[in-house]
Amino acid sequence: MSKFKTLTNMISVELEMEVKSKAKYLVATLADFTVFTFAYLAVLFFSDTGDLNTVYRTNDGVMLILIGYMFWTLGVMAMDLSTQTIEADSRAGILETELQSSFPLWFLMLIRVWVLIVLTGLYLLILGIITGAMTGVSIGTVVVITFEVLLISIISNIGMFGIGLIFGAGSLIFKSVGTWATLLQTGILLIANVGSNYSSNLQALIPFGLGIEITRSLFLGRQISLATIMGYLAVNLVYLLIGILIFNGGLRHERKFGSFERF
């Protein structure tokens, strides 16, 4: 079987498994989305929509916040999946078995991320339609925004995935890093241009910082500079490469000094 056919089968199986898992643990799934919804409401409450309208010269500040929140949600999903998969599989003693695959382990997890992102996109679409109904934005516009976010965030999700690999490597050595990952995600939400305008080069170093601005520019019909696009690609490529290097280093350390079966 060719690698391409194997890859398509993997994606199909992962999609089927994820759908079944969400349905089987429906209460937990709804609880997760409820938490994300409350986070969205909190961002709306504490954000200065008027300031966004002034800076971007628009009356759609709420939709600009929605775009930022979509990127943050998808990024958190990508980061959490890589970190939690490594930690859970290591605890279950199956991580070493997964390493025998013809594909690198980080790539297998990336496939899971893409599948999860597609399913999360349905939640974001519903959230967007509700937001659009309250702000006078058409369903068609919301669909376009959601599609653009899902497409453009492929790049930033890779970067967030890379950060997740770093925490995953930490879990191999220190065994529990979930709290630190959550603190980082909260910190990113506070300093990123999720509910505010792009105001600092520091925000460009956040995986989805420039992605938010690219999508906002598309929504507002503004031009996008080549420098912004290249910067967006470069930042996330660096995060991915660093994540892979550190994760592989963590695996080597675990093989030499630890045990995949003992957590």
Domain extents in the chain: 3-255
The type of residue at 194 is: V
205 in Cβ contact with 59 (< 8 Å): no
90 in Cβ contact with 172 (< 8 Å): yes
Residue pLDDT, tens place only, 147-205: 999 999 999 999 999 999 999 888 877 767 767 888 899 999 999 999 999 988 899 99
106 in Cβ contact with 165 (< 8 Å): yes
Please determine, for residue 125, whether its predicted confidence score (pLDDT) is greater than 80: yes
Residue pLDDT, tens place only, 6-46: 667 766 776 677 677 666 766 777 888 888 899 999 999 99
Please determine, for residue 240, whether its predicted confidence score (pLDDT) is greater than 70: yes
Give the lowest-confidence range in 10-14, 125-129, 227-231.
Answer: 10-14
Tokens of 94: 């199956």
Tokens of 124: 């974001």
What are the CA-CA distances from residue 201 to residues 156, 214, 249 (Å)? 16, 15, 30
pLDDT of residue 262: 47
Residue pLDDT, tens place only, 74-101: 999 999 888 887 777 677 666 667 667 7
Please enumerate in sequence order all residues whose Cβ is within 8 A of that of 235, keeping only pairs 6 or more positions apart, or say none.
Answer: 159, 204, 205, 207, 209, 210
